[in-house]
């Protein structure tokens, strides 16, 4: 596994980072990388499959539990603003500016963004803005150019509007699949029993399939937007 010095994950909501790249994050953190999550919308709300609403404070507690499991730092751009499932209502320029500031401050050598192949309007809005923010402008002009930009996928790809691009990177997470599942369980308000897409069975099934594609037990796959060798 290649070790990166600084990893930045743009996560529309608190759990997307675990579903999409929790194994990679655990591996990078264990190898000594600086892993940072930029969460967009974190709110208390009522979710399908729960009898009552989850509070904002409960969501913060969940993030803290997951942080301890995976070993990252984090920040929340829109906390308790009732913007979950409404990020597409924000001006794209606002999101682009937010992401550019994060890139210039954190100077990651690996940027992980949600895939555009997603029915979730929040994810698509975040991808579009992150793609613009990561555009290639050389550092001598005052902007950090991230050398490696990948898209992460999730177990909900069975309802993806488009396939992942053929240019694909894989991370062997066989050693870290249990860590990823522990982190998944840490998001108590998001975790669901099978056959839900956020169940251990669904997450493990996708990791098993991606692992078989590269001859290992479990893996995560990433669409490659840019990779500097």
Residue 176 DSSP SS3: helix
User: What pLDDT is recorded for position 164?
Assistant: 67
DSSP string, 19-60: HHHHHHHHHHHHTT-EEEEEEEEE--B--TT-SSPBPHHHHH
Does the pTM surpass 0.85? The reply is: yes
Report d(CA 37, CA 151) in Å as an integer: 14
Predicted local confidence at residue 165, as pLDDT: 65
Which pLDDT value is given to residue 81?
A: 97
The C-alpha atoms of residue 23 and residue 46 are separated, in whole angstroms, by 28
What count of Cα atoms within 13 Å lies in the side-chain half-sphere of residue 225? 24
Segment (H or E) for 225: strand 219-227
pLDDT attached to residue 166: 65
What is the per-residue pLDDT for 139?
92
- Helix segments in the chain, DSSP class H: 16-30, 56-70, 92-106, 121-133, 177-186, 200-214
- Domains of the chain (ranges, CATH numbers): 6-227 (3.40.50.10320)
Below-50 pLDDT ranges, the chain: none
Please compute, for residue 212, the number of CA atoms within 13 A of its CA located in the half-sphere on the CB side: 5
């Amino acid at each position: 596994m290649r070790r990166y010095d600084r990893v930045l994950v743009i996560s529309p909501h608190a759990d997307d980072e675990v579903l999409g790249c929790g194994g990679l994050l655990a591996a990078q953190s264990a190898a000594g990388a600086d892993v940072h999550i930029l969460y967009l919308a974190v709110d208390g709300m009522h979710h399908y499959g729960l009898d009552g609403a989850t509070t904002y404070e409960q969501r913060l507690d969940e993030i803290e539990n997951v942080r301890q499991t995976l070993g990252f730092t984090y920040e929340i751009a829109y906390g308790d603003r009732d913007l979950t499932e409404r990020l597409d209502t924000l001006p794209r320029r606002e999101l682009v500016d937010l992401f550019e500031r994060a890139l210039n401050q954190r100077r990651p050598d690996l940027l992980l963004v949600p895939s555009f192949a997603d029915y979730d309007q929040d994810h698509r809005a975040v991808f579009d803005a992150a793609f613009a923010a990561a555009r290639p402008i050389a550092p001598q002009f005052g902007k950090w150019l991230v050398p490696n930009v990948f898209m992460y996928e999730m177990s909900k790809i069975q309802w993806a509007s488009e396939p992942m691009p053929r240019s694909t990177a894989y991370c062997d997470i066989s050693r870290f699949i249990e860590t990823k599942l522990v982190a998944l369980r840490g998001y108590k308000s998001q975790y669901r029993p099978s056959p839900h897409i956020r169940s251990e069975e669904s997450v493990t099934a996708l990791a098993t399939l991606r692992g078989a594609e590269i001859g290992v037990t479990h893996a995560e796959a990433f669409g490659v937007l840019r990779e500097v060798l």
